[in-house]
Amino acid sequence: MDESSGNLIIVSGMSGAGRSSVADVLEDLGWFVVDNLPPMFLTTIVEQVVGTGASPRLAIVVDVRTGSFFDELGSALEDLRTKGYRPLTLFLEASDDVIVRRQESVRRPHPLQGDGRLLTGIERERELLGDIRAGADLVIDTSNLNIHQLAARIVNAFGDEEKIELRATVVSFGFKYGIPVDADVVADMRFVPNPFWQPDLRPMTGQDKAVSDFVLGHPLAQQFLQNYVDVLDTLRTGYLNEGKRFVTVAIGCTGGKHRSVAMAEEIAKRLREKGSPTLVVHRDLGRE
């Protein structure tokens, strides 16, 4: 892995998905942050800041606010790679309805809206950002995250570390609310008996010991845990060999309250025991 990996981040993503909030968190973590940089200056700023040792860690926010200059991002990133720099790319995503709500709350037009509708600007932006999203090292869907939860994701991914290690986020979710769009791997817990049908367990969640014991105590759950954590350990080795430092593991059940929550907590515990810094997010808990 190139020595610049992990010390250089390109932050991009949808307008209204939280780029400014992420920039603030990175600054608090000690990163030197450059916002709204035209891609034509990307190599120059990296060479001056990282190449000369002026700052050990540099984050650059690049997005469609630069207008026609944004078209040069692909060639600028390729120029960086030819000069030996290996930036990590963070892409911030959000659903159309959430972006609309956020844009309207700040009373600012979308940068690509022009004289058209807000949704037209969002559609254009998704098209322009398609390639960078597809090649991103880490995609975070902020649709259901508040500012504190987003900050926790950034701290988990880009906080201080003593060695390179795969950083995991384990997300519990309910299938009836949709699969998380930023998931790298997805597992379905609906093969385990549902605590919902136990009157004494129904009001509880997978964070309660009684529910956790009920879910994890099932023989199939035990077998799944053993096999699945072994699979994730294999992925960990392969991802690190390929330079991928982040993985989002989505664990689902029907409503995201019992089985997926208990299993996500246990999987996160076992990943931490194997040395992977791991954050747990219960996306749909309390939504029923």
Binding-site entries: 13-20, 63-66
Question: What does the radius of gyration of the chain's CA atoms come to, in whole angstroms?
Answer: 20
Question: Which residue in 17, 37, 18 sits closest to 26, CA to CA?
Answer: 18
Residues in the annotated binding site for ATP: 13-20
Contacts of 246 (CB under 8 A, 6+ apart): 137, 138, 157, 166, 167, 168, 169
Q: How many CA atoms lie within 13 A of 262 on its CB side?
A: 28
Is residue 77 within 8 A of residue 135, CB to CB? The reply is no
Contacts of 228 (CB under 8 A, 6+ apart): 187, 267
Which phi-psi region, left, alpha or beta, contains residue 87 (left: φ > 0; alpha: ψ -120 to 50)? beta
Say how far residue 24 (Cα) sits from the centre of its chain: 17
In whole angstroms, give the CA distance from residue 174 to residue 285.
9
Question: Which residue in 84, 91, 93, 92 sits closest to 7, CA to CA?
Answer: 84
Question: Which residue in 195, 232, 196, 229 sits closest to 212, CA to CA?
Answer: 195
Task: For the sheet with 8-13, list strands across it.
Answer: 32-34, 58-61, 8-13, 88-93, 138-141
